[in-house]
């Protein structure tokens, strides 16, 4: 009797047999089992997962089946593997839908409403990727500017260098912010807290500084300083590449010192930060002056005043340029003000109320 191959088993589940020979003495038994099983409907094979790659500035996703996936390893539900531009691989569970598109509760089979998915905000100007670029940049461009690599926490000592006061005038910077007692200030990209600590002193116990960073290690370094100095009006927040993770209309002032040019998603970050500003709140950018060749900083870590105004002046941010302060040795200090929905910039006085006289 000829050998039995999986190609001969038309109509049966192809996952039951591999393409290998069956001994002759077992063929009759095998055929009997197959004939008894082919009359009955076979369970549908699980749908293979798919790799979905979508350009971050496009709303079109391309789904490609994984041809070599082993059926035994697949889940009973339809999974999707999403590959994003950060290099991460995320498995998204797809729900089982009942009649009318309602999600079926697996516990009792009753349909429940599925909340609609909100469209993700896309930048008005697309990001561009170039193979030939500055080695100090990430090869990603936004409005003609290449985005720089983030300075890692292992280089935190550079933030603490003794000559920083002479080069950057950090004490002049804090004074120029005109902070008042009771203010809520966001130190976005706080790092090791070189500016967080003096700002906490200026806003006083009734105020607060929210130190935001995308590196937990930086926040840990700052936490050690806060405990050693018993500073209690600083809150530490771990943000992400697209958001500082702050409540709406919570800040009187947001400060970014040598930080904005490193944002991997500047549009998304500024959209989120602008929502965190109170009407009349100020957003302050401190960036090394690209216009000045005497500022010996790598090019991708410098910005022109014109470029800052171009990127931040997009109408959806509702941030209006207020002034550029030229008192710092190497850097621009560029101030924007948050506009209300109707263009109003009136903000609540952060100063604590005075006691009424009898």
Q: Are strands 184-188 and 103-104 parallel, antiparallel or unpaired?
A: unpaired
Do 196 and 233 lie in a common domain?
A: yes
Give the helix/strand (H/E) hosting 337.
strand 331-338
Is residue 145 a part of any domain in this protein?
A: yes
The per-residue DSSP string of 30-95 comes to: HHHHHHHHHTSPPPPPPPPPEEEE--TT-S--EEEE-TT--GGGS-SS-EEEEE-TTS-EEEEEPP
Collapsing DSSP states into helix, strand and coil, what is residue 292? coil
Is residue 355 a part of any domain in this protein?
A: no
Structural domain for 326, as ranges: 128-338
Q: Do 239 and 282 contact (CB within 8 A), yes or no? A: no
How far is it, in rounded angstroms, from Cα 196 to Cα 225? 11
DSSP, res 164: H
How far is it, in rounded angstroms, from Cα 239 to Cα 256? 14
Do 134 and 200 lie in a common domain?
A: yes
Do 196 and 329 lie in a common domain?
A: yes
User: pLDDT tens digits for the chain (358 residues)?
Assistant: 444 443 443 443 333 333 334 444 444 344 444 445 444 455 554 444 333 333 333 333 333 333 343 344 333 333 333 333 333 333 334 444 544 444 444 445 555 555 555 455 666 678 999 999 999 999 999 999 999 999 999 999 999 999 999 999 999 999 999 999 999 999 999 999 999 999 999 999 999 999 999 999 999 999 999 999 999 999 999 999 999 999 999 999 999 999 999 999 999 999 999 999 999 999 999 999 999 999 999 999 999 999 999 999 999 999 999 999 999 999 999 999 999 876 666 554 444 433 333 3
DSSP, res 107: T
User: pTM here?
Assistant: 0.65
The CATH number of residue 282's host domain is: 3.40.50.150
Do 139 and 199 lie in a common domain?
A: yes
Is residue 358 a part of any domain in this protein?
A: no
Is residue 171 a part of any domain in this protein?
A: yes
Last residue of a domain, one of 61, 83, 112: 112
How far is it, in rounded angstroms, from Cα 342 to Cα 346? 11
Do 64 and 182 lie in a common domain?
A: no
The per-residue DSSP string of 201-246 comes to: HHH-TTSEEEEEES-HHHHHHHHHHHHHHT--SEEEEE-BTTB---
Is residue 352 a part of any domain in this protein?
A: no
Is residue 174 a part of any domain in this protein?
A: yes
Do 202 and 88 lie in a common domain?
A: no
Do 326 and 285 lie in a common domain?
A: yes
Report CA 244 to chain centroid distance, whole Å: 8
Do 91 and 137 lie in a common domain?
A: no
Is residue 344 a part of any domain in this protein?
A: no
Do 287 and 224 lie in a common domain?
A: yes
Do 171 and 270 lie in a common domain?
A: yes
Is residue 55 a part of any domain in this protein?
A: yes
Do 108 and 133 lie in a common domain?
A: no
At what angle are helices 305-312 and 266-276 packed, to 10 degrees?
A: 70
Please give the tally of structural domains in the chain: 3
Do 297 and 181 lie in a common domain?
A: yes
Q: Are strands 79-83 and 89-93 parallel, antiparallel or unpaired?
A: antiparallel
Q: Do 286 and 261 contact (CB within 8 A), yes or no? A: no
């Amino acid at each position: 009797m000829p050998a039995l191959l999986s190609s001969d088993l038309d109509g049966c589940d192809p996952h039951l047999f591999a393409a290998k020979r069956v001994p002759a003495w077992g063929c009759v038994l095998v055929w009997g089992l197959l004939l008894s099983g082919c009359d009955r409907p076979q369970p549908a094979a699980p749908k293979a997962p798919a790799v979905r790659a979508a350009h971050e500035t496009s709303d079109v996703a391309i789904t490609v089946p994984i041809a070599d996936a082993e059926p035994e390893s697949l889940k009973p539900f339809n999974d999707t593997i999403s590959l994003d531009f950060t290099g991460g691989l995320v498995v998204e569970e797809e729900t089982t839908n009942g009649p009318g598109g309602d999600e079926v509760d697996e516990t009792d089979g009753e349909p429940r409403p599925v909340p609609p998915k909100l469209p993700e905000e896309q930048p008005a100007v697309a990001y561009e990727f170039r193979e030939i670029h500055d080695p100090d940049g990430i090869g990603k461009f936004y409005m003609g500017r290449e985005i720089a690599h983030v300075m890692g926490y292992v280089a935190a000592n550079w933030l603490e260098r003794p000559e920083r006061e002479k080069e950057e005038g950090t004490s002049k910077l804090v004074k120029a912010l005109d902070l008042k007692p009771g203010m809520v200030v966001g130190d976005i990209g706080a790092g090791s807290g070189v500016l967080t600590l003096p700002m906490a002193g200026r806003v006083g116990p009734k105020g607060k500084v929210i130190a935001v960073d995308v590196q937990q290690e930086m926040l840990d370094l700052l936490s050690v300083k806060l405990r050693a100095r018993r500073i209690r009006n600083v809150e530490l927040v771990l943000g992400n590449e697209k958001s500082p993770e702050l409540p709406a209309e919570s800040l009187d002032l947001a400060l970014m010192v040598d930080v904005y040019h490193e944002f991997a998603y500047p549009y998304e970050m500024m959209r989120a930060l602008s929502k965190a500003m109170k009407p009349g709140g100020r957003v302050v950018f401190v960036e090394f002056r690209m216009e000045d060749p005497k500022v010996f900083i790598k090019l991708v870590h410098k910005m022109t005043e014109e470029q800052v105004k171009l990127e931040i002046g997009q109408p959806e941010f509702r941030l209006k340029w207020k002034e550029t302060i030229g008192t710092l040795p190497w850097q621009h200090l560029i101030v924007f003000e948050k506009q209300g929905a109707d263009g109003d910039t009136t903000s609540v006085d952060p100063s604590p109320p005075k006691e009424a006289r009898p």
